[in-house]
Amino acid sequence: MGQLSGAFGRRRIQGSPDFCSLRSGPFLPLLACLLSACSLGASPPKEYPLGPGITREFSATQEDLLQALHEVLENQTIQGTWIYDKDPVLRGAIVVDSTPLFEPWKQPGKVFYKIRKDAIAPRHFLDTADQGTIAVRYIVTTINDERVRLHIDAIYVEQTHRTPHISDGNVEASEAKAIEDHLHAIQTTEQENLEAIRRRESADLVRTTELRQREDEKSLLAAAQSSSKDLQQQINTLRHELMRRVKAPGIELKGAPFHSAAAIATLPAYTEVIIVIVTPHWYGVELHDGQHGWIHADNLEPLP
């Protein structure tokens, strides 16, 4: 037994170099596999193969599309997928600035993310299983002042095995439809506001025109009244220049400019007459009834 032990012991000692040499033999690949399996926890995360997503172009300003997008981002819902048959809407989503489920975006445009954690085998992600996180990415780029492009892609990654599952397109299409509906509502409201502004401006223009016309009419009326007043003043001035009245106690209206001429009427005191002929001593006058005659200048006085 001692000899066997010694022999066994010697074989172990003598066999040690042969065991070390196994590192260069056929057992090396197996050892490498074992070591790799032990170090899986420290391996870098997988690169997730992303689906094509969906790209839509809209006749809109970037401001309007971003407003519609933010309304959809803040609704805490991911459209086009669910985790329980009784509730066809997946709620509990949150907006994040970034997510490791997508590579950092370094291209032109604005990028936004919405995620839903703890989703269990969500619908419309290929070969889903286990519990994980859904991430949706939205990329907005401007084509021109009145046209903008939106790209959406979605992915589901299992929490335990980090297995990625791409969307079958239903999530992206549903999210795009929700954004389009919000955009349409925004544009409709803007159009209605513009129409209301145009109607108000039109009404303001009508009122302004009417006010201007009234002011013009007032100006014309004032000018006419002023002209009439001036004319009346001129008439009064002319009246004072051309009219006289008979002094008290009255006088006879002569048929000729002579004291011996026959009297054709007797005029009481203060009778107003219009002077139509002027001579050094006599005035040819006209009465209000159209009768003509002569009065000596000493028998007439100016109107008061």
Q: What is the DSSP string of 228-294?
A: HHHHHHHHHHHHHHHEEEEPTTEEEEESSSSTTSPEEEEEETT-EEEEEEE-SSEEEEE-TTS-EEE
Q: Note the pLDDT of residue 202.
A: 92
Whether residue 296 lies inside any domain: the answer is yes
On whether both 187 and 272 belong to a single domain, the answer is no
On whether both 279 and 134 belong to a single domain, the answer is no
On whether both 162 and 257 belong to a single domain, the answer is no
Whether residue 17 lies inside any domain: the answer is no
Residue 15 makes CB contacts below 8 A (sequence gap 6+) with: none
Which pLDDT tens digit goes with each residue over 187-241? 999 999 999 999 999 999 999 999 999 899 888 888 888 888 888 888 878 877 8
| Residue 3: pLDDT band with limits 50, 70, 90 | very low
Boundaries of domain holding 180: 40-240
Whether residue 30 lies inside any domain: the answer is no
Of all residues in the chain, what percent carry a pLDDT higher than 90?
63
Q: Note the pLDDT of residue 51.
A: 54
On whether both 271 and 163 belong to a single domain, the answer is no
18-27, 43-52, 82-91, 144-153: range with lowest mean pLDDT: 18-27
On whether both 115 and 261 belong to a single domain, the answer is no
Q: Domain boundary at 186, 213, 240, which?
A: 240
On whether both 44 and 84 belong to a single domain, the answer is yes
On whether both 281 and 151 belong to a single domain, the answer is no
pTM score, two decimals?
0.56
* pLDDT for residue 185 is more than 90: yes
On whether both 55 and 138 belong to a single domain, the answer is yes
Q: Note the pLDDT of residue 85.
A: 76
State whether residue 61 is helix, strand or coil.
Answer: coil
Q: Note the pLDDT of residue 161.
A: 85
* pLDDT for residue 157 is more than 90: yes
| Residue 31: pLDDT band with limits 50, 70, 90 | very low
Contact predicate 269/249, CB 8 Å:
yes
| CATH code assigned at 266 | 2.30.30.40
Residue 301 makes CB contacts below 8 A (sequence gap 6+) with: 244, 245, 247
Q: Note the pLDDT of residue 33.
A: 36
On whether both 202 and 99 belong to a single domain, the answer is yes
Q: How many domains does the chain have?
A: 2
5-14, 66-75, 153-162: range with lowest mean pLDDT: 5-14
Q: Kindly state the tokens that stand for 182.
A: 């919000």
Section 49-55 average pLDDT: 71
Which pLDDT tens digit goes with each residue over 254-304? 999 999 999 999 999 999 999 999 999 999 999 999 999 999 999 999 888
Q: Note the pLDDT of residue 50.
A: 47
